[in-house]
Amino acid sequence: MSELKVAVIGGGIAGLSAAYFLAKSGAEVEVFEQRYLLYGASGRNSGGLTVQFNDEELIKLALRSLDLYDELQSEVKFNFLLRKDGYLKIANKNDEAKLESEASLLKKFGVKIEILNQNEVKELVPDINTKAFDLAYYFSKGGTVFPWPVIWGLARGCKALGVKVYDYTPATVVVENGSVKGVQTLDGLHKADFVINAAGAWSNEVSKSAGVELDNKIFKENICVTESLRPYLDPYIFDVSNNAYLSQSMRGEIVGGVVGREIDQIDKKGELDPLIRYAKFATNLIPKLKGLSVLRQWVGVYDLGKNGKPVIGFTKVKGFVQLNGFGRHGMSLGLAAGEKVAEMVLKK
Amino acid sequence: MKDRKVVCRCEDLTEEDIIKAIEEGYDDLESLKRYTGATTGPCQGKGCLMHLIRILSQKTGKKPEEIGVTTQRQPVNPVPLYVLAEGEYE
């Protein structure tokens, strides 16, 4: 069909999703990943899936993403290790207004958020310390996904549609007379009608190479895993007041951390302070976890649009498209955002 | 059964499992680690990393120096949450 050529910079969830949907409609797509797939935030997050956002656009993307997880994992024939066993937001009283407004906004979209009392939470998570929180907002259709197979599955789906996925291939944008010409890699120029910037924490630099100001904020977050237990903990738990979270992956590990902080320069050095804060949070919330050992801690970096929202859409440079700035929620938003950008490009 | 060469005891992986993953295209160390799960169990690579590098070297012809090692992450040995929870932070 069309001769449409698209280059995607960044082999994470958003970029691969865009590549997949573009290729499905007949576009010729190349994906450029600077390191290995999973090097960025798509390979370093804890896999929480929810629609509990205080913003209509985000809710729409998150709802669509949940459907896409189901559709795509059968389409690309890859098990995403996805469990829709619920997403639980807990908080102390001070944050009641925040959770209330989120819940009432979600109601507009027909999404049911259940407000649970301590006993109902205990039914969901039998060993939870009910003194560790005052409020609980539960989205039963959220859950936990293992991020790695999502990326492998998408990459496989892309390749089956003829997409070229290049790893260890950094790329910059080439612009001529206000329009993109393609991307430049060490082996030369790859021509493209559209270049999609899905480079996560590296999006600012990619955008700069196109001469477009982006100014996303960069964050650094420490996450850790423990030894594996048999399936035990159903919902993903996010503590709004302590800014900390934990869940159990399909491999049985307890995965968790504390929310990251803004940094000036990308740095991936693990830090002890967040690990101590997490250990205090986890052992207070579920005291039975205290004997469990932490095997490994790592750092992920992610970007957030400067106004606190993802950056999705066309720019002043013709053919240069932003698909970044998802903050902590790339896994919840990225699939639908990729699909949306693919539609925008195809319509142009 | 006696021909099975176990290279990763934590994740129960044989040499054949590793070779299959390399043949599927997970032929750089970081991807091979994640796809097979080798080096991500309780030993964190202490028992298996050298085997992974050896097999990868034999299959791809790359020298061990070119293959490198996976990022070594803290803690060196597993640490229980209750021990970490006794720490202090700024």
Interface contact A168-B28, CB threshold 8 A: yes
pLDDT at A21: 98
d(CA A63, CA A177): 39
pLDDT at A348: 87
Chain A residue whose CA is closest to B30 = A36
* Domain definitions of chain B by residue range: 6-84
d(CA B69, CA B64): 9
pLDDT at A279: 98
Q: Which residues contact A307 (CB under 8 A, 6 or more apart)?
A: none
> Would you place residue A2 in the very low, low, confident or very high pLDDT band (cuts 50, 70, 90)?
low
Spatial CA neighbour of A62 closest among A48, A81, A83: A48
ipTM confidence score: 0.91
Spatial CA neighbour of A173 closest among A341, A331, A298, A8: A8
Q: What is the pLDDT of residues A135-179, one digit of tens each?
A: 999 999 999 999 999 999 999 999 999 999 999 999 999 999 999
Query: What DSSP string describes A5-53?
Result: EEEEE--SHHHHHHHHHHHHTT-EEEEE-SSSTTSSGGGTS--EE----
At the fourth CATH level, which superfamily is domain B6-84? BFD-like [2Fe-2S]-binding domain (1.10.10.1100)
Determine the average pLDDT of the residues in A264-287: 96
Chain A residue whose CA is closest to B11 = A251
Q: Which of B35, B42, B81 sits opposite A283 (nearest CB)?
A: B81
DSSP H or E run through B81: helix B81-84
Determine the average pLDDT of the residues in A24-35: 97
d(CA B20, CA B14): 10
Chain A residue whose CA is closest to B80 = A293
Burial class for A237, CB neighbours closer than 10 Å (0-12, 13-18, 19+): buried
* Under 8 Å between Cβ of B81 and A283: yes
Determine the average pLDDT of the residues in A54-61: 96
Burial class for A265, CB neighbours closer than 10 Å (0-12, 13-18, 19+): exposed
Burial class for A250, CB neighbours closer than 10 Å (0-12, 13-18, 19+): middle
Q: What is the pLDDT of residues A207-245, one digit of tens each?
A: 999 999 999 999 999 999 999 999 989 999 999 999 999
Q: What is the share, in percent, of chain A residues with pLDDT greater than 70?
A: 99
pLDDT at A159: 97
Can you list the alpha helix ranges (DSSP code H) found in chain A? 13-24, 56-75, 96-108, 118-124, 147-160, 203-209, 272-285, 330-347
Q: Which of A148, A280, A297 sits opposite B85 (nearest CB)?
A: A280
Interface contact B78-A294, CB threshold 8 A: yes
Range of A1-15, A99-113, A309-323 with top mean pLDDT = A309-323
* Under 8 Å between Cβ of A16 and A204: no
∠ CA A131-A133-A138, nearest 5°, is 125
CA distances from B44 to A38, A130, A225, A318 (A): 18, 34, 11, 48
C-alpha dihedral, A44 to A50 to A53 to A57, nearest 10°? 90
Location of structure tokens 């970007």: A303
Q: Which of A152, A167, A272 sits opposite B35 (nearest CB)?
A: A152
d(CA B37, CA A103): 38
Determine the average pLDDT of the residues in A111-125: 95
Number of helical H runs and strand E runs in chain A: 8, 21
∠ CA B79-A259-A87, nearest 5°, is 95
- Domains defined along chain A, listed by start: 5-77+147-215+309-347 (3.50.50.60), 86-143+217-304 (3.30.9.10)
Range list of β-strands (E), A229-307: 236-239, 244-248, 253-258, 261-263, 293-304
Chain B nearest CA to A316, separation (Å): 37
Q: Which of B37, B40, B82 sits opposite A291 (nearest CB)?
A: B82
pLDDT at A235: 98
Interface contact A36-B28, CB threshold 8 A: yes
